[in-house]
Amino acid sequence: MRTSRARTGMTLLLVMSALMIASCAAWAVDFSAQMIQTVGDETSEGSFYRGAEKYRWMIQESGSLVSVIVDQAAGTTRVLDHSKDTYITIENESPRSLMNNPFEAFRVLSGTHGRTEAGTETVAGYECIRFDVLEGDTLLLSAWVSQELGMPLKVVVPGPSGRQVELDYVSVEEIGDAYFDTPAHFVDVTDTDTAPALDAAPEVSGTETPEEASKTLAAEHEQTVLKKVAEMGIELKTDEGTVTLREAGTRTLESYFPGWIFYNVTRELKLDRGTSLAPLPFGRIIYNVDDGSVVTLSSPGSDVNLSSELAFIQNAGIKLTTAEEVNAFAPAIPTINPSGSSVEEVLLLGENTWAICTGTSFDGRRGYVMELDDAGNVVSLTYSLEIGAE
């Protein structure tokens, strides 16, 4: 009886680890995604990155982080213990890997038990084929596989102790080799008694190098912002392309607006001869890393009162009491507002009224008109195609 339970437990561990990929010869595209795991009433979120022949996922639970880096070409898995700055390397098809590696577990179970096609469904904006993996008449798991991405986007393991793992907010983008690097100061403990257990979720030590930590945080911020965009009712992936974020910050912005990240937002579709861009309701999104709030802004294009930009500046408590301070702050305005222009000239139009010129038109200068009160607070901000300054 004990042997039967042990075998059943091992099978369930293998099944519950199966998250992502059907057997395929090569990856379809690089992408990043948000990773969501539900076990019982507990839900945890993390990040997932896939490159040419490598992939990495990181999952946080109760403040703890585990990172798994898989090299398909080499056939090896590297597990990083961030609490001890150590790592181990194992074979992809080893029992320890199969119990914890969602890619290899799904591949092996599909090979040993077979899989049955059970219809189609859209997951995270991608058409997926559902595959059921059975042991006799017992359903071990169901996986929704995107042929375009070459992997499952959702896996459900039924039963009282079952779980669901899902990828969402997929961003098709180039994933560089740096995402799969092991920090230089991590120590290989594969052949020692201190090798970390794969099924343990180690604590975060915060000892990664600034560059490594910056890359991880930047990717997590982008996934959060994409989630915000989706919550606005904007589909992240359509026939016209995929919503793409690119940081647009400058030192000027960082000095005046600490804690905010500026992104250019586009919908891009890669074609054989280049990239096609489709319109979105806004071209700039600004994300506050402290409270998670976002501000969306659009390129003016015509005379308009920039109320959202004005509120953003006022909330930051900007004060400009001298001409030098106005000139120093001026380059931030066309960067906050996604006009795609740079400052050519700053002119005083009248008492406390400044023109921030970004170009010329047939009827005069175009750009921004900013009004200050006597204390140096910005009280009005407009965009004009006819500033008319002499």
CATH number at residue 57: 2.50.20.10
Comparing 184 with 311, the larger pLDDT belongs to: 311
Whether 185 and 234 map to the same domain: the answer is no
| DSSP-based three-state secondary structure for 349 | strand
* Identity of residue 206: G
Whether 200 and 57 map to the same domain: the answer is yes
How far is it, in rounded angstroms, from Cα 76 to Cα 211? 25
Comparing 262 with 298, the larger pLDDT belongs to: 262
Specify the pLDDT at position 162: 64
Whether 298 and 369 map to the same domain: the answer is yes
Backbone phi, psi, residue 38, to 5°? -120, 125
Q: Which of 2-11, 146-155, 318-327 is least confident?
A: 2-11
| Cα separation of the two ends of the chain | 93
Full domain range(s) for residue 113: 2-207
Reported confidence tier of residue 326, pLDDT bands at 50, 70, 90: very high
Whether 72 and 55 map to the same domain: the answer is yes
Residue 314 CA from chain centroid, whole number: 29
> 354, 379 in Cβ contact below 8 A?
no
Tell me whether strands 42-50 and 378-384 are parallel, antiparallel or unpaired.
unpaired
Specify the pLDDT at position 270: 83
How far is it, in rounded angstroms, from Cα 16 to Cα 12? 6
How far is it, in rounded angstroms, from Cα 102 to Cα 355? 58
Specify the pLDDT at position 380: 95
Burial call 181-205: b when 16+ CB within 10 Å, e when fewer: eebeebeebeeeeebbebeebbeee
Whether 294 and 313 map to the same domain: the answer is yes
| DSSP-based three-state secondary structure for 331 | helix
Specify the pLDDT at position 22: 40
* Identity of residue 378: V
Residue 390 lies in a domain: no
Residue 309 lies in a domain: yes
> 333, 309 in Cβ contact below 8 A?
yes
Q: What is the DSSP string of 127-148?
A: EEEEEEEEETTEEEEEEEEETT
Sign of torsion over alpha carbons 174, 270, 227, 37? negative
193-252 per-position pLDDT tens digit: 555 544 443 333 444 444 555 566 677 788 888 888 999 999 988 888 899 988 876 666
Whether 241 and 379 map to the same domain: the answer is yes
Q: Please, which residues have CB within 8 angstroms of residue 240's CB and are 6 or more apart in sequence? A: 267, 269, 276, 278
Whether 148 and 226 map to the same domain: the answer is no
Specify the pLDDT at position 313: 92
Whether 13 and 115 map to the same domain: the answer is yes
Given a cut of 50, is residue 37 above it in pLDDT?
A: yes
> Domain boundary residue among 183, 207, 231?
207
Given a cut of 80, is residue 48 above it in pLDDT?
A: yes
Specify the pLDDT at position 8: 41
Whether 180 and 240 map to the same domain: the answer is no
Residue 87 lies in a domain: yes
**Encoding tokens for residue 155?**
């896996």
Q: Which of 10-24, 38-52, 137-151, 292-306 is least confident?
A: 10-24
**Encoding tokens for residue 53?**
């022949």
| DSSP-based three-state secondary structure for 48 | strand
Backbone phi, psi, residue 188, to 5°? -80, 115
> Domain boundary residue among 163, 189, 207?
207
Whether 197 and 226 map to the same domain: the answer is no
Whether 44 and 165 map to the same domain: the answer is yes
DSSP 330: G
Neighbouring CB atoms inside 10 A of 117's CB total: 10
Whether 84 and 192 map to the same domain: the answer is yes
Task: Mark residue 255 as left, alpha or beta (left: phi above 0; alpha: psi -120 to 50; beta: remaining).
Answer: alpha
The whole-number average pLDDT for the span 113-137 is 91
Residue 389 lies in a domain: no
Specify the pLDDT at position 207: 45
Specify the pLDDT at position 35: 84
Quickly tell me which residue has 């891009």 as its tokens: 268
Quickly tell me which residue has 């961003």 as its tokens: 171
Q: Is the pTM of this model over 0.85?
A: no
Containing H/E element for 46?
Answer: strand 42-50
Winning range, highest mean pLDDT, from 7-21, 149-163, 206-220: 149-163
275-302 per-position pLDDT tens digit: 888 888 888 899 887 778 898 888 766 6
How far is it, in rounded angstroms, from Cα 328 to Cα 331? 7
Residue 230 lies in a domain: yes
Q: Which of 142-146, 255-259, 377-381 is least confident?
A: 255-259
> Domain boundary residue among 159, 191, 207?
207
Q: How many domains does the chain have?
A: 2
